[in-house]
Structure 1
Amino acid sequence: MRIFVFVFALLAVMPTHAEANTEDAIPEPAIELTELMGTITLKNGVSPEVALVLTVTNPSDTPYTGQIGFAGAETESLSINAGEEQDVSLSVTSRHAGKADALQKAEIDFSLILDDQPAPAIGNVDIDIQVPVAAYPLVRSEPPVMQKSAEAEAQYEFYALSQQLQPLKFTYNPGPHNLEVRKTVYPIPIEPGPIEISIEVTNHGTEATTALVLRDTLDDADFAGSGSAFTRFVADEATDLVWEAELPSIAPGESRLISYTVSARYAVGDKQLPATTVIMNDELTGLSNKVWLPKWH
């Protein structure tokens, strides 16, 4: 009887599973991040200009006070009465690499922090993106942005619904050789056997290119290739299969297509093929898209 009483008393003071989960859970903020609007202006040779306004709503019946800001940037104070909303202008941290009139990269950190915690998803995000005239179209953006037209004031738009934002990355070339490089793989999904990889290069610039060197790097554990275009590079932990070919001069407005074949060693899937690099006069001048290889079975 004493043992029964002791166990019963112990169970009585222990929290239930639901109570434990309730105590450990991070409380949801009383506010809602309704909308993020603004403009990103990519510049030739310098960091982008960014202007953003976040609309914050307090649907609760109590006032809210806190701090919000993008990672690495200055935070802004929030003080919102119950049932009201507030517009907050936010600054961001951005990075830029590359010389003017050549291939450049820009990154904007959209990781949003609310009261020292990752912020919840933003209901609606709609950001216009302006690029230098000579840099249209963009070489690449990650995640992808929606393309409008070269004549539009904002040639691109980043749109998202109910998402937690991550860094937004751009690659662009406002120089005389703005190359669009499109990479495709056939067939997909990949089964053991021959695979064709095609690369199309279009010169949107104002001057003809000199000879271009295209280079792909594949995992030798996944693919095999034969012929003078292929070399194998042995590193500490892996071996790369490197394909390289040369394209003759491409005039403004013209495109060239080149394809090569490799043999898949097995059903390659759930991985990404890296971008094709384009070299002109020993300088990186273009990059293709990356290709995701799905695994369907």
Structure 2
Amino acid sequence: MLKITSLTSLFISSLFVSALAVAEQSDAEDAIPEPVIVLTELTGNIILKNGELPETLLQLLIENESNESYSGTLGFAGAEAQKITVSSGESTTVSLPTTPRHAGKANRIQKAEVDLSLLLNDAPAPAISSVDIDIKIPEAAFPIIRSEPPAMEKSAEDEFQYEYYARSQQLQPIKFTYNPGPVNLQVRKTVYPIPIEAGPVEISIEVVNHGSQTTGELTLRDALDDEDFSGAGDNFTRFVAEDSTDLIWERTLEPLSPGERRRINYTVTAKYGVGDKQLPATTVIMDDGLTGLSNKVWLPKWH
């Protein structure tokens, strides 16, 4: 009798579990899907200033492809969130403020940042289908020293000399380094060969003075990882810190006239196949102040 009762209980339990699963599946099928909005297009502009915070004017087109009206909050990280309501099958455009940051003195090298990380109901928003933002810099600051992520250069004659374009991406802060002063240096670093294997590596640095005045004496400086590279000669020193050692290369450059360019090459020895890391920017110092920065160089894996 005990055995029969146990089997009966097990059978009833199985029926209950099966019925519950069928009910849950039915509820899931009958449930109304959550309203879905699509972040279609972010447009507008960013205007970099000489010694001041950037100005931004950005608009986001939102579409509601669901069968229900949608309400929520939307905004860039650090800025005031905007309340949005989009009816079923409709679209709306919302202007979104930012909280830009700026560092540096007027007529000197400066940095600015605009955080484009988007939050939907206080959580990371889905990717934006299309992003097309025009960027204006002070006339004397062209060409810009650096944009991270990269902005596309258009022309010095355009009102907006740069453009940031992206598709289907979750955005992040965009950072700019620029110099609207009378000495505006463009510094470009290249490395050969890439990928890097053990042996000699040539690093080339080109400096162009796009400013209106002749520079003073310039000091070019590179910092490489001493575990990766070695160098010989008077231009190399080693800087020992608590957790690392840098191989420092330094070279003095005679003054550059407006429009003049000069290229400097130096050679280091790779201790092994260096890859999957980034070489930092070359810095340019004039009158004990940072005056120029090169691009960084990504080293891919050597195998």
TM-score under structure 2 length normalisation: 0.91
Match of 1:106 among 98, 112, 117: 112
Cα RMSD between the aligned structures?
Answer: 2.3
Instruction: Indicate how the Cα distance of structure 1 residues 10 and 264 shifts in structure 2: closer, same or farther if over 3 A, else same.
Output: farther
| 211 and 29 in structure 1: CA distance in 2 versus 1, 3 angstrom threshold | farther
How far does the alpha carbon of each residue in 1:174-211 deviate from its partner, in whole angstroms, 9 at most, with x for none?
00000000000000000000000000000000000011
1:244 to 237, 250, 256: 250
Instruction: Give the C-alpha shift of residue 28 in structure 1.
Output: 7.8
1:47: Cα distance to partner? Answer: 0.6
1:173 aligns with 2:179: yes
| Distance of 2:239 and 2:302 partners within structure 1 | 30
Match of 1:254 in 2: 260
Q: Could you report, residue by residue, the CA deviation over 1:210-243 in whole angstroms, capped at 9, with x for unpaired residues?
A: 1100000000000011111011111111111000
Distance 1:84 1:248, change over 3 A: same
SS at match of 1:34: strand
Runs of 4+ residues deviating >2 angstroms:
1-6, 8-15
Matched, 1:41 2:28: no
**Alignment partner of 1:82 out of 81, 88, 94:** 88
Structure 1 distance, partners of 2:196, 2:101, is 37
Q: Distance in 1 between matches of 2:276 and 2:298?
A: 7
Aligned residues: 289
Give yes or no for contact 2:35–2:67 (8 Å, CA) kept in 1.
no
Q: Percent identity?
A: 63
Cα offset for 1:84?
A: 0.3
Paired AA for residue 252 in structure 2: E
Any idea what SS the aligned residue of 2:164 has?
strand
Q: Deviations over 1:120-148 (max 9, x none)?
A: 00011000001111000000000000001
| 1:121 maps onto 2:127 in alignment | yes
Correspondence for 1:291: 297
Structure 1 portions without partners, runs of 5+ = none
Match of 2:193 in 1: 187
Alignment-derived partner of residue 132 in structure 1: 138
Question: Does 2:141 align with 1:164?
Answer: no
Listed as ranges, the gaps of 5+ residues in structure 2 are none
Taking a change above 3 Å as real, the CA distance of residues 227 and 11 of structure 1, as seen in their structure-2 partners, is: farther
Match of 2:219, SS state, is: strand
Distance 1:203 1:44 in 2: 19
Larger gyration radius, structure 1 or structure 2: 2
Distance 1:188 1:28, change over 3 A: farther
2:35–2:69 CA contact under 8 A, matched in 1: no
* Counterpart amino acid of residue 148 in structure 2: E
Deviation at 1:93, TM superposition (A): 1.2
Deviation at 1:296, TM superposition (A): 4.5
C-alpha distance 264-38 of structure 1, shift in aligned 2 (>3 A): same
Residue 264 (structure 1) aligns with: 270
CA shift for structure 1 position 5: 3.6
With normalisation by structure 1, the TM-score equals 0.92
Q: Which residue identity lines up with residue 50 of structure 1 in the other structure?
A: T
